[in-house]
Structure 1
Amino acid sequence: MALNFELVTPERLVRSEEVYMVTVPGTEGDFGVLEGHSPMVSTLRAGEVAIYKTQGAAPETIALDGGVAEVSEKGLTILAEKLG
């Protein structure tokens, strides 16, 4: 099982890939998203998105300056205001 992850800025699609898990800097606190996560929408604060390609792998991090995250049956989409 893999999570479909997309990271988008107003200028372009930054990432679109299958990953194991993503940790997101929500305004109410960080949260992790795995395949099968319940649908939700959250605003994001400035922080780092941690992308785990496989279980147990070291994360790749991408800094962003706020935005919105949407989790749906299709996966996780992050609409970043801009990358930090």
Structure 2
Amino acid sequence: MATLHFELVTPEKLVRSDEVYMVVVPGTEGDFGVLAGHAPLMATVRDGELVVYASENNVSARIRVEGGFAEVTPEGLTVLAERAETLA
């Protein structure tokens, strides 16, 4: 199984840096999923829930994000959020 390098960053700190299966991002144009090998992309992030999958059917984290940007590169996915809070 190919993994995706994922980083979530706020102005205060690096919130998360992991190798994951998939991340679903709340984009302003709609939610979108990012897997390893995704085409390069830049998108704005709306307030909502970012969902991190450790494997195909295993959600490892739900994180409330507020605003920001998402960038997909050959190296992985980086989300720069104004605020981020891990949900229980």
Q: Smaller-chain TM-score range?
A: over 0.9
Matched positions, count: 84
**Under a length normalisation based on structure 2, what TM-score does the superposition of the two structures give?**
0.92
Q: CA deviation at 1:83?
A: 1.8
Asked whether the 8 Å contact 2:65–2:84 carries over to 1, the reply is yes
Q: Which residue of 2 is the match for residue 71 of structure 1? A: 72
What amino acid maps onto 2:49 in structure 1? E
Alignment of 1:80 with 2:71, yes or no, is no
Unpaired runs of 5+ residues, structure 2, are none
Alignment of 1:26 with 2:27, yes or no, is yes
Matched residue SS, 2:55? coil
How far apart, in 1, do the equivalents of 2:33 and 2:44 lie? 14
**RMSD, aligned α-carbons:** 0.9
How far apart, in 2, do the equivalents of 1:54 and 1:39 lie? 22
Asked whether the 8 Å contact 2:47–2:66 carries over to 1, the reply is yes
How far apart, in 1, do the equivalents of 2:72 and 2:59 lie? 23
Q: Percent identity?
A: 57
Unpaired runs of 5+ residues, structure 1, are none
Which structure shows the bigger proportion of residues in strand conformation? 2
What amino acid maps onto 1:34 in structure 2? L
How far apart, in 2, do the equivalents of 1:37 and 1:45 lie? 20
What amino acid maps onto 1:19 in structure 2? V
Alignment of 1:54 with 2:26, yes or no, is no
Structure 1 runs (4+) deviating above 6 angstroms are none
**Under a length normalisation based on structure 1, what TM-score does the superposition of the two structures give?**
0.96
What amino acid maps onto 1:72 in structure 2? T
How far apart, in 1, do the equivalents of 2:84 and 2:3 lie? 24
Asked whether the 8 Å contact 2:51–2:59 carries over to 1, the reply is no
